[in-house]
A and B are shown apart, each in its own frame.
Chain A
Amino acid sequence: MIPVCRLADLPRGEAYRLETDPPVAVFHTDDGEVLAIDDTCTHQDASLADGWVEGCEVECPLHASKFNLRTGAVDAPPARLPVRTHQVVLEDGVIYLLLSDAPPNLPPCAVARAGGGFA
């Protein structure tokens, strides 16, 4: 189990980005649920922790793809592939994660293509 932060330090409506590889976003929803998914949008390299949460959905800040925080499914394009979800454990007021061992759906990495011209 990986410790994330104290529950008290993550107010409702906010997200915490855990610098694992790949990073994970932990959300405390307005309804009081704590849910974790991969932080990186599957469309392009954007941090979903920087996105906007409504209900149990997060909207990517770049092109408005929506992901279900419980299932990781894409609820709105342009993203096509789901993000992974991770199991959250609350113990003594501390948030812990059990990371998924499924392969992540990472976006094509622009950095790797640096030097190549593509308009």
Chain B
Amino acid sequence: MPTTSLPESLIATLPGGYYTSPETFAAEQEHIFESMWFCAARSSDLGKPGAYRTVTVGRESVLLTRARDNSVRAFFNVCRHRGARLCTQESGEVSRAFQCPYHAWTYDLQGKLVAAPNLTKMPDIDRTAYGLAKVAVTEWLGYVWICLADDPPSFEEQVVGEIVARLGDVGAIERYAVADLAVGRRIVYDVRANWKLIVENFMECYHCATIHPELTDVLPEFANGYAAQYFVGHGAEFGADVKGFTVDGSDGLDRIPTVAEDQDRRYYAITVKPQVFVNLVPDHVIFHRMYPLAVDRTVVECDWLYLKEVVDAGRDLSRSVELFDRVNRQDFAACERCQPAMSSRLYAGGGVLVPSEHHIGAFHDWVHDRLADRLPR
């Protein structure tokens, strides 16, 4: 923390070390990513029984799949025999079972141990107890959310509550029918920056007029520097001459029919801590998930979701996708510009937040609370 007192307009950021210290990152992995609900995949990534994905959550690899009864299952991606990583592919499909490549312990889609060499000679091995270890899982908004905690927090409070706090009520997001939309485009960004720099960037719009010329053309109020997230229930209004949320302000795609009149021609942005950002516009939803992989590396997977009939008809999504793809690249370049300076001697005490960024202070308080007394001294 800065030792000098700050002028009233300014409050302190986190110290530079929070963005560079492997110990801090390890504490965040344990007390944030492995303790909270984490959005791991789009439900349609697991399109049918046997389809799977592996994702890194905190320090763990998690195996997601769909069982024969069509329910989504999540397991630690660790063989119960001698610990081999069960699946090494990021995604794929098995016909009926996961088999460890080491000694061939074989698990069905519900995680039960169904076969192993000499297994029938060891009738005392309980096939469920020695099945894959389960991870808590739920589906919401067409996404698979998992929680590695032994005693998961309330999903309602952590996830739904955050959306309600931002939009005023859960009905506001339900009107976008997010679960029923189809993935029109997915782009994965490998960002060389600490995950908190990405959250902070997403929370403020002080940078918008400087680095997002296309976005500011579509949403002129962004030039005043106040993020759409600043006010509860506020959506930034499209410019008068803007037809749709596209890179050149031309027409967008078909409007989601259940979107309310007062949500039309507006852009809403929501941060769901710790790793989800959602943007809502009348004709699509942009859904980002961060996968923090190292103190200075974060993979961001971003889906552009449209009405199913729009995607099925093969409509041209390019101008629609390009607007936020550019915004993402502009933002991530800014985060990558900050990352190397986080270890500068000059930044050891951190930087400052101007008034339109002061709400980021609440994020920093939250990080402090999660890590309280848990950081190595």
User: CB within 8 Å of B: which residues of A?
Assistant: 17, 23, 39-40, 44-47, 50-52, 61-63, 110-111
Residues of B114-128 whose CB lies within 8 A of A:
114-121
- Which residues does chain A contribute within 8 Å of B117, judged by CB atoms? 44-46, 62, 110
Q: Does B320 contact A (CB under 8 A)?
A: no
Per-position binary interface string of chain B over residues 91-124, scored 1 when its CB falls under 8 Å from any chain A CB and 0 otherwise: 0000011010000101000000011111111000
CB distance from A16 to the nearest CB of B (A): 13
- A63–B99 alpha-carbon span in the complex (Å): 9
| A62→B115 contact, CB < 8 A | yes
Which 4 A-B pairs rank lowest in CB-CB distance, beginning with the nearest?
Answer: A61-B115, A50-B115, A45-B118, A47-B120
Contact partner, B114, options A50, A110, A111, Cβ 8 Å: A50
Name which residue of chain B comes closest to A63, CB basis: B104
- A23–B121 alpha-carbon span in the complex (Å): 11
| A111→B118 contact, CB < 8 A | yes
CB distance from B59 to the nearest CB of A (A): 30
B interface size (C-beta, 8 A): 13
| A111→B104 contact, CB < 8 A | no
CB distance from B327 to the nearest CB of A (A): 49
13 further A-B pairs in the complex, CB-CB below 8 A; given A50-B119, A51-B115, A62-B106: A40-B120, A45-B120, A47-B115, A47-B119, A47-B120, A50-B114, A52-B96, A61-B106, A61-B114, A62-B99, A63-B104, A110-B117, A111-B118
Number of A-B contacts (CB under 8 A): 36
- A39–B119 alpha-carbon span in the complex (Å): 12
- Which residues does chain B contribute within 8 Å of A46, judged by CB atoms? 115-117, 119
Per-position binary interface string of chain B over residues 117-160, scored 1 when its CB falls under 8 Å from any chain A CB and 0 otherwise: 11111000000000000000000000000000000000000000
- Which residues does chain B contribute within 8 Å of A47, judged by CB atoms? 115, 119-120
CB distance from A14 to the nearest CB of B (A): 13
CB distance from A29 to the nearest CB of B (A): 17
Instruction: Sample 13 A-B pairs with CB under 8 A, ordered by A number.
Output: A45-B121, A46-B115, A46-B116, A46-B117, A46-B119, A50-B115, A52-B96, A61-B114, A62-B99, A62-B104, A62-B117, A110-B118, A111-B121
- A40–B114 alpha-carbon span in the complex (Å): 15
- Which residues does chain A contribute within 8 Å of B114, judged by CB atoms? 50, 61
- A47–B228 alpha-carbon span in the complex (Å): 61
CB distance from B28 to the nearest CB of A (A): 40
- A48–B119 alpha-carbon span in the complex (Å): 11
- A52–B114 alpha-carbon span in the complex (Å): 11
Name which residue of chain B comes closest to A61, CB basis: B115
Name which residue of chain A comes closest to B105, CB basis: A62
- Which residues does chain A contribute within 8 Å of B104, judged by CB atoms? 62-63
- A63–B120 alpha-carbon span in the complex (Å): 16
Name which residue of chain A comes closest to B127, CB basis: A50
CB distance from B27 to the nearest CB of A (A): 40
- A47–B116 alpha-carbon span in the complex (Å): 9
Per-position binary interface string of chain B over residues 64-105, scored 1 when its CB falls under 8 Å from any chain A CB and 0 otherwise: 000000000000000000000000000000001101000010
Contact partner, A17, options B97, B106, B120, Cβ 8 Å: B120
- A40–B117 alpha-carbon span in the complex (Å): 10
- A17–B119 alpha-carbon span in the complex (Å): 13
Name which residue of chain B comes closest to A45, CB basis: B118
- Which residues does chain A contribute within 8 Å of B116, judged by CB atoms? 46, 62
CB distance from A52 to the nearest CB of B (A): 6
Per-position binary interface string of chain B over residues 159-192, scored 1 when its CB falls under 8 Å from any chain A CB and 0 otherwise: 0000000000000000000000000000000000
- A46–B122 alpha-carbon span in the complex (Å): 12
Given contacts A46-B115, A50-B114, A52-B96, contact A39 B120 (CB under 8 A): yes
